[in-house]
Structure 1
Amino acid sequence: MRQSYFLFLSALFINTPLVTSLKIASALGVLEWTPELIAKEDFFNGAVDIVNGGISSLFSDSTVDLGSNSETQLLLQFGSHENLRTIGTVVEVYYRIVANKKSGITTLGDLKGKRIGALRTTSSEYFVQTYLATAGLRPADYTVVNGLGCLQEPCAANTFPSMLRSGTIDAIGMWEPSVEFGIETLGPDAVVFGDNQTVYREIYNLATTTERLDDPNKRAAIVQFFKALKQADDIFQSEPEKVITRAAEAVKTNRTILEAAWPVHRWGVHMPSDILEVLVEEDKFVASYAKREAFSRDSLATLIDASILEEAFEV
């Protein structure tokens, strides 16, 4: 009997893959990271520690295995760390601009001479700059005003929705839910630009280092986490009612505001087919702030590694 029991345990040990623990650094104040939480809690067969941070945490904390941010932060970090790799998306988000009709704004071109709330050096400012260029506006034609996002009403005085309400700014251009709060703040005076527009979308990605990818145990864990992440993302995409309350609690906002902002999010684990073209164009913006030359196309190609996706999904 004892021998049979040990044979059973041995077979179980052999057939059950051991998953190394992972530590992930994500910006916990944005909706984009929440599929990682659902993957951790519902689908991943292993230990995951998710801490506040991002891609930069890969280099400030040696215990971090994965970092998630927008592609602007990816490019900023690549400037100092050639061992950085983006290995797949969590979600793509179509940013929007909400403007105050009482400021004389009814078209995108009316933002000339206006004050636009956006976070400098981030995907927020890049979005505003890129989108307004389609209306013939240059950065010198408007003023970018720094502030903070808002996750929960009442929004503080230094947050963009509150600044929009007070007239300190005329518009907001960034990620959610601050834009949705701005829409609610203005009510019938809200003018929204950019729903589902294709000039820019945030590519919120998971990144790691070549050292982590070369470590067999860590690599195996990352592959397994991507499988779990895809299961979570599939629910976010097809059955959001099952996860939206948990997502709202995770970012300390309310379900109603996320329901309104949900349609501009495209959930799905993949490597965008145009990722290299996006990085080449966007690096011109990032390089200007980083005070360096823009990377060549060949250099930026090394930043992309789809091998984890290939292993996880046999593509």
Structure 2
Amino acid sequence: MHTSLLLAVAATVSSVSATLKIASALSVIEYTPELWAIRQASGGSSSGSSSSIATITNGGVANIVSDTSVDLASNAETQALRQFANHKSLRIIYTVAEVAYRLVARSASATTAAGLKGKRIGTIPGTSAAYFVERILQDVGGLGPSDYTVVNGNICMATPCGAGTLPYMLAHGTIDAAGMWEPTMQLTIDALTTAGVPYTVFQNGSVYSEIFNLHSTSEKLADPSKRKEIVAFLRLLDKAETQFGASDGPSDAIVSLVASSVSGLAGNTSLVKAVWPVHTWTGDLHADKVLDVLVQEDAWVARVDRRKAMSRDTLSTLIDATVLAEARKG
């Protein structure tokens, strides 16, 4: 870390007087800038997922709306919509990452999205991955949900990927294609390569990219003391995002942290490097863009959850850009 950045981090840390509790899914790469921010704020020597600055526990937005001890939570926008439907105090305050998911098909089954008509597509129903599958097959292939069969499969974080995981299922031909977040899709590609099975990758970030956001609640943000701590943490996270998104790639220290801190990766730095280009470390909050995504996606979530879709005006209250603006003052 550059000396100037260390000094800036040190100055920010001094304004944090208590430990924030953050709920994040520890099995996804997207959460790791939060952990890097905590480690660097503590001089880079902290172990685990906690320090005097913040503690990260496994979870997400479901935790922050049910447990008042949780101050921040990170998740994909799908889960935020699911929780916001019944908990209008939820707020998106920062976008940590955007990930252009990949759909991988056996080339013998299809080399175009339209060619997947009548095929079996593996994913996890009700998740951002399932929404991605529907969107890319609709927007790129012109297919509706009734034109293919969705098959439930499991993620895989490390080889060998066992029976029931998407890489295993696609490599053995029990499904024709699979769409999921990383590193499952990279391991799917690796499994097909090892088996000598030709494959085709479908990816279009303009059709769908996961927006992995940091959330709080209106109650937490209305508390002057707690808000001050959250603002200070956003300053730390902003600096961490700059390093994650460096044009020359992540440092060895960041790759090592990700590989050792994401559940199931077992220190596999080669796998982290392989999936890094799929991730964009946003480090910002583009409210209009996020709102457009929420409005379109909530129509799908509402259908899956059998409820009425929320209006654009209602969804606009899910986004609070004032916290980041406050963190960047001066």
Q: TM-score, normalised to structure 1's length?
A: 0.91
Q: Secondary structure at the match of 2:86?
A: coil
CA contact (8 A) 1:130 1:200 kept: yes
Alpha-carbon offset, residue 109 of structure 1: 1.1
Give the structure 1 partner of residue 59 of structure 2. Answer: 53
The answer for unaligned runs of 5 or more in structure 1 is 1-14
Pick the aligned partner of 1:178 from 173, 176, 184. 184
Alpha-carbon offset, residue 62 of structure 1: 2.1
Alpha-carbon offset, residue 59 of structure 1: 2.3
After superposition, the C-alpha distances for 1:170-227 in whole angstroms (9 at most, x for unaligned) are 1111110011011111115121110x53111100001111010011111111111111
CA contact (8 A) 2:128 2:210 kept: yes
Give the structure 2 partner of residue 249 of structure 1. Answer: 260
CA contact (8 A) 1:230 1:268 kept: no
Moved more, 19-28 or 251-260: 251-260
Pick the aligned partner of 2:145 from 132, 139, 159. 139
1:149-188 → structure 2 map (5 Å cutoff): 149-187=155-193
CA contact (8 A) 1:116 1:171 kept: yes
CA distance, structure 2, for counterparts of residue 174 and residue 93 of structure 1:
11
Mark the CA change 1:97 to 1:110 in structure 2 (over 3 Å): closer, same or farther: same
Pick the aligned partner of 1:80 from 77, 81, 86. 86
After TM superposition, what 4+ stretches of structure 1 lie above 3 angstroms from structure 2? none
Moved more, 42-51 or 24-33: 42-51
After superposition, the C-alpha distances for 1:96-122 in whole angstroms (9 at most, x for unaligned) are 1111113x3111111111111111111
Give the structure 2 partner of residue 209 of structure 1. Answer: 217
After superposition, the C-alpha distances for 1:224-266 in whole angstroms (9 at most, x for unaligned) are 1111111111111114133112101111312112211111111
CA distance, structure 1, for counterparts of residue 28 and residue 155 of structure 2:
10
Q: TM-score, normalised to structure 2's length?
A: 0.87
Name the one with the larger helix percent. 1
Give the structure 2 partner of residue 200 of structure 1. Answer: 208
After superposition, the C-alpha distances for 1:17-61 in whole angstroms (9 at most, x for unaligned) are 342210111111111011111011113694311011100001232
Mark the CA change 1:302 to 1:166 in structure 2 (over 3 Å): closer, same or farther: same
Mark the CA change 1:71 to 1:16 in structure 2 (over 3 Å): closer, same or farther: closer
Moved more, 85-94 or 180-189: 180-189
CA distance, structure 2, for counterparts of residue 89 and residue 309 of structure 1:
10
Alpha-carbon offset, residue 16 of structure 1: 4.5
After superposition, the C-alpha distances for 1:122-165 in whole angstroms (9 at most, x for unaligned) are 11010010111121100111111112111111112121111111
1:1-315 → structure 2 map (5 Å cutoff): 16-43=14-41, 46-102=52-108, 104-134=109-139, 135-187=141-193, 189-194=198-203, 197-238=205-246, 239-242=249-252, 243-251=254-262, 252-253=264-265, 254-272=268-286, 273-314=288-329
CA contact (8 A) 2:81 2:298 kept: yes
CA contact (8 A) 2:123 2:153 kept: yes
CA contact (8 A) 2:16 2:232 kept: no
Q: Secondary structure at the match of 2:65?
A: helix
CA contact (8 A) 2:192 2:199 kept: yes
What is the total number of aligned residue pairs between the two structures?
299
CA distance, structure 2, for counterparts of residue 72 and residue 163 of structure 1:
25
The answer for unaligned runs of 5 or more in structure 2 is 1-12, 43-50
Q: Secondary structure at the match of 1:145?
A: strand
CA distance, structure 1, for counterparts of residue 281 and residue 235 of structure 2:
14
Identity across the alignment (%): 47
Larger radius of gyration: 1
CA distance, structure 2, for counterparts of residue 86 and residue 224 of structure 1:
16
Q: Secondary structure at the match of 2:98?
A: strand
Which amino acid letter does the alignment assign opposite residue 282 of structure 2? G
